[in-house]
Amino acid sequence: MGIKIADFEMKNPIIAASGTFGYADEYEDFCDVSQIGAIATKGITLEPRLGNEGDRIFETDCGMINRIGLENIGIERFIEEKIPILKKKNITYILNAAGSTLEDYAQLASIANKAGIEAIELNVSCPNVKSGCLEFGVDSNSLHELVLRVRKNYDGCLIVKLTPNVTSIESLALAVEKAGADAISAINTLKGLGIKIDYINGKFYKKEVQGGLSGKCIKPVALAMVKRIRSAVKLPIIGMGGISGLSDLFEFISAGADAFEVGTHNFTQCDACVSLALELEEFMRENKFSTFKDLKTAIKEIN
């Protein structure tokens, strides 16, 4: 079940998506985190951030909207406090890195390189910060330049996470490939707006949360985007968007994915990644697929 992207090895193709699994071991009371292929960390910036004021979560039909705003402890504390825990517990992780300038990303990359961090997922598409990373994610020239800069400073496995909030995801995927990244992960959240209006004792009350939409409701969009990326580039694709069960994995493979991230479903069932990895393993064993590659081939060959 193991897979390899560049030199980065994972024991299975299931990754916990950034922002849904903390930094390391927060869920270890509920599942054996070391059984998950990898954990993509909470988005990490050079300096610590407190995130957005006000309401941050809004539940929708079959999903949710978040506007956390990249609250995180900063790269320095992550390296000092969290990496030792991750190593001790044998947890494979991917650093999700975010910034607001080219320089931020370049610096994060060289710090990660020095710290021996084996994989980075560049967050160039967070919809919840006012300036910065989203701009890189929507313009193929800026994205190309950004990935080039990071590539120069970083020798490990470089994954770029793309936003679906663009006209041509193909051109962004091409820019990422040309700049020398090792993989693309997609999709980040969709821009959404949640409004709740109550009428109590003759008066209207409103709650409004604008942010990133995730969960089961975005799966069709994610599948479409993965398929479009696959049509444009040869890079491995880590597919995500509404994944909760084994059949979702098959659908993403069919669209062109080589690995998977599970996000919002971790909030519904916090042991979802472990369960899914076990389920996939069992399916492969029962149906005599000796490698994950064989399973992918079989699904891609469906007429």
194 near other proteins, judged by CB under 8 A:
no
* Measured CA distances, 275 to 94, 182, 186, 201, 242 (Å): 20, 28, 22, 47, 16
271 near other proteins, judged by CB under 8 A:
yes
278 near other proteins, judged by CB under 8 A:
no
| Residue type at 233 in one-letter notation | V
| Active-site annotation holds for 126 | yes
Q: Which is nearer to other proteins, 239 or 242 (CB)?
A: 242
Do residues 225 and 187 make contact, with C-beta atoms less than 8 angstroms apart? yes
User: For other proteins, which residue of 11, 56, 151, 227 counts as binding (CB under 8 A)?
Assistant: 56
Closest distance to other proteins from the beta carbon of 31 (Å): 8
283 near other proteins, judged by CB under 8 A:
no
Do residues 79 and 43 make contact, with C-beta atoms less than 8 angstroms apart? no
* Measured CA distances, 179 to 89, 123, 141, 143, 145 (Å): 34, 16, 10, 9, 7
289 near other proteins, judged by CB under 8 A:
no
59 near other proteins, judged by CB under 8 A:
yes
Helix (H, G, I), strand (E, B) or coil at 295: helix
Pairing of strands 14-16, 38-40: parallel
Indicate which residue of 126, 133, 157, 273 is catalytic: 126
Closest distance to other proteins from the beta carbon of 30 (Å): 6
* Integer Cα distance of 247 and 139 in angstroms: 33
- Provide the annotated active-site residues: 126
Residues binding other proteins (CB under 8 A): 19-22, 26-32, 42, 50-51, 55-60, 62-64, 66, 68, 71, 215-216, 264, 266-271
